[in-house]
Amino acid sequence: MRVGESYYSVPYALVGQELDARLSARTVEVFHRGERVAAHPRSVVPGHDQTVATHLPEGHQQQLAWTPQRLLDWAAQSGPHTHALVQAILDSRPFPQQAFNACLGVMRLGQRFGAERLEAACRRALHFGTPRYKSLESILKNGLDRQPLPSPDRTPTPPLLEHPNLRGADYYH
């Protein structure tokens, strides 16, 4: 719940319920129907978020056990491409925790398809510049991880278009 410029957690069962807050110089207390349901140290930092783990649903509490390093350690066990892909997913978000669901999804794909296929799919996703969960899932579902990657020297270059209306860079100088 938002109190002033900061956010404080309440038990997830009370989300959407009418709550009251009592502020003191050092504490924020939250009440539901006159019963105190949460107490937090008062934050003076605007936008600060204070969350008590027991206020989260069980599935979210389990996510608190994960850290970026733990995810990377797991990924490294699958292989260097899996490690690089998980690192790219973590780096794609301003806060690593925002990428945890995608990283845990990669982990589930590894359980479903096996470490060898996951590593091949990660290699393919990285090769094509698409290090995202959805891309990885598509590669595995369509069996593209079993296809060879195109070699750089065999990649056809598109022919240059010629047309009277197309001008080169020299035209503009």
- Do residues 78 and 134 share a domain? yes
The reply to whether 21 falls in a domain is yes
Please check whether residues 51 and 72 belong to one and the same domain. Answer: no
Please state, in angstroms and rounded to a whole number, the distance separating the CA atoms of residues 85 and 118.
11
Residue 79 sits in the same domain as residue 126: yes
CA distance 44 to 26: 9
13 within domain boundaries: yes
135 and 71 fall within a common domain: yes
- 128, 146, 148 from 117: Cα distances, Å: 17, 8, 13
Do 77 and 41 share a domain, yes or no? no
Domain hosting 122: range is 66-147
In a domain, 158, yes or no: no
CB 81 within 8 A of CB 37: no
Gap between the Cα atoms of 6 and 125, Å rounded: 39
Domain count within the chain: 2
Q: Is residue 115 part of a domain?
A: yes
74 shares a domain with 51: no
H/E stretch holding 50: strand 49-50
Count the neighbouring beta carbons within 10 Å of the beta carbon of residue 69.
10
Same domain, 70 and 143: yes
Judgement on whether residues 75 and 135 belong to the same structural domain of the protein: yes
Residue 99 lies in a domain: yes
- pLDDT tens-digit map of 74-119: 999 999 999 999 999 999 988 888 899 999 999 999 999 999 999 9
Per-residue pLDDT in tens (0 to 9) along the chain, 173 residues = 888 888 898 998 998 999 999 999 999 999 999 999 999 999 888 888 888 888 888 877 776 778 899 999 999 999 999 999 999 999 998 888 889 999 999 999 999 999 999 999 999 999 999 999 999 999 999 999 999 998 776 555 666 677 777 776 777 76
Verdict on whether the full-model pTM lies above 0.85: no
* Whether residue 143 sits in one domain with residue 94: yes
45 and 10 co-located in one domain? yes
Instruction: For residues 33 and 71, state if they share a domain.
Output: no
